[in-house]
Chain A
Amino acid sequence: MTDVDVIVVGGGPAGSCAAIVAARAGLSVVLLERGPFPGSKNMYGGVVYPRILDELIPNWWEEAPIQRWVTRRSTMLLTETQALTVDFRTEAWGKAPYNGATAYRPDFDHWLAGHAEAAGAQLLTSTTVTGLLRDANGAVVGVTTDRPDGDLRARVVIACDGVNSFLAKEAGLYEHTDAKHFTLGVKETLALPKEVIDERFGVRGREGVDIEIIGGTGAVNGGGFVYTNLETVAVGVVLKISKLASQSMRPEQIIANLKAHPGIAPLIEGGEIKEYSAHLIPEAGLKMMPKMTTDGMLVAGDAAALCLAAGIWLEGVNFAMASGMYAGESAAEAIKVSDVSAAGLGGYQRRLSETFVLKDHRKLRRAPELVLSDRVQHLYPQMIANVVERMFRIDNPAPKPGLRRILNQERKRAGIKRRDLMRDTLDGYRSFG
């Protein structure tokens, strides 16, 4: 006795892609969203890399509600008074088929959910899922909701219920969760006229800039970001919550300090705050991932910790969309042969393993921990900035000192052991190489 073939919980990128694929396979699909519209609960920095959508929505770039195409990427190291930036720009990312884009999640997610509806999925908003329905053997057979008579039964439940995924926890897919594996993202969206943004960031038309920052978060391990939207600039920080909780500076103060930095302040001066927002990020990759499948249920997106936080690569929406797609395909495959047990749904794990979703995570498995380590966070930015400052400082009549000598002196001044520096360099090479 089922009401529908597939229930998808959560109208974010994972849920909408799961619903699109399942509905297109001819299944009856209900997509449940607890907010008043899809995207209303969703927040990120924000850059999205929609390449994977080529498989679902050809020429998506002609209709997706994007703000700017990222044609310029900067990686910035900050100390209290210094900034070192590596800046890359390319014309190629400003034209079809594009690469990354800034977008507001309430716009983007709402748009993607529209495609799920167009494919035939039934979208139910303002509906909070409160738990799982299980049969006598423990298999998931549906969900309970906060609607009157709100139980819904299905052959497969796809849990795309976000970073806190109470459904994955209830199903026993997480052995444990550890605060050390999460970061808190907080940001301010600041309004500025388009011409001002274009001029300050050196872009035109729909070109946009993505600045990733390390070293700008004080005593709390994490990172910062500045992204250009059409008429706003998003500035924010990502903070390791276990560190945040064990010191005394509040998140809004850490943002305020980043905004006041001499390398950041001129970019956002005069920007009036339009929205302050916050969200958790599953940061630890493979170290925290749950089992992806149980009898009658799959888990995708942030709910499955499929977020790549690897320093120079910060991606989540693409992993959500891809895992949602593969969950939808695998659910359809299992339903077709009437085996929705964990084994019958096993195509999901296989698809994740064979694609970038888990391949990227395996390749970069050491990166999240390295990037958030104390030396990378608190010692190396100062050492590197000092080295560069001395390289470019002209101390005439003294001659230029050798780079090796400067590096050695600054390493000692920062209190870094040669052995640790070599180990971290090797670790970085292995993590990113």
Chain B
Amino acid sequence: MTPGNFLETMETAEFRVSPDAHIVVDSAICADCTTRECVVACPANLFVPTADGGVVFNYEQCFECGTCYMVCTQEGAIKWDYPAGGYGVVFHRT
């Protein structure tokens, strides 16, 4: 699957985006991390390594699954909450 295709795949899921990020990643801590478990494991591919050696997280298309904080090995790197009520992923009804 090419990166372009996956962006289209992600477009099929609905997200009601909150003005506030429910997950905050401390890029300075990530800069010291060599294993970067989140980058491969996040099913929405929201963890992106940056040129300066950190990691940015885009919360807008998050499934709120919890995989990232569970596989993360860096204490304090990921601050994880649910989005405010009504926001975030909304799976489809028929």
Contacts and interface: CB of A to CB of B under 8 A. Distances in A.
A126 B45 CA distance: 26
B65 A280 contact: yes
Contacts of B70: 177, 179, 182, 241, 280
Contacts of B85: 34, 125-128, 145-147
Interface in B22-48: 35, 37-38, 40-41, 43-45
Nearest to B37: A245
A182 B65 CA distance: 11
A114 interface: no
B86 A126 contact: yes
Interface residues of B, number: 34
Interface centre among B37, B66, B84, B85 (most CB of A within 10 A): B85
Interface in B64-94: 64-67, 70-71, 82-86, 88-94
Contacts of A241: 41, 67, 70-71
Contact of A278 (B37, B40, B44, B86): B44
B40 A244 contact: yes
B71 A245 contact: yes
B94 A104 contact: yes
Contacts of A277: 13, 63, 89, 91
B91 A256 contact: no
Interface residues of A, number: 51
A143 B1 CA distance: 44
Contact of A275 (B44, B45, B92): B92
Interface in A126-181: 126-128, 145-147, 163-164, 177, 179
Interface in A1-44: 34-37, 39-43
Contacts of B64: 41
Contact of B92 (A65, A104, A273): A104
A276 interface: yes
Interface centre among A125, A128, A248 (most CB of B within 10 A): A128
A430 to B, nearest CB: 30
A43 B67 CA distance: 15
A35 B65 contact: no
Contacts of B50: none
B84 to A, nearest CB: 5
Nearest to A251: B43
B44 to A, nearest CB: 7
Contact of B65 (A107, A245, A248, A278): A278
Contact of A188 (B9, B16, B65, B94): B9
A36 B71 contact: no
A41 B38 CA distance: 21
Contacts of B93: 37, 39, 104, 106-107, 110
Given A245-B71, A276-B13, A40 B90 contact: yes
Interface of A: 34-37, 39-43, 65, 104-107, 110, 125-128, 145-147, 163-164, 177, 179, 182, 184, 186, 188, 241-242, 244-253, 256, 273-280
27 contacts: A36-B16, A36-B86, A40-B91, A41-B90, A41-B91, A65-B94, A104-B92, A110-B93, A126-B86, A128-B85, A146-B85, A147-B85, A184-B41, A241-B67, A241-B70, A241-B71, A244-B41, A245-B37, A245-B38, A245-B40, A252-B43, A276-B9, A276-B10, A277-B91, A278-B44, A279-B65, A280-B67
Which 10 residue pairs across A and B have the least CB separation, nearest first? Answer: A126-B86, A245-B37, A278-B43, A126-B85, A245-B71, A106-B93, A128-B85, A127-B85, A164-B66, A278-B63
Given A182-B67, A251-B43, 13 more contacts: A40-B91, A42-B91, A104-B92, A107-B93, A147-B85, A164-B66, A241-B67, A245-B37, A248-B40, A250-B45, A274-B12, A275-B91, A278-B67
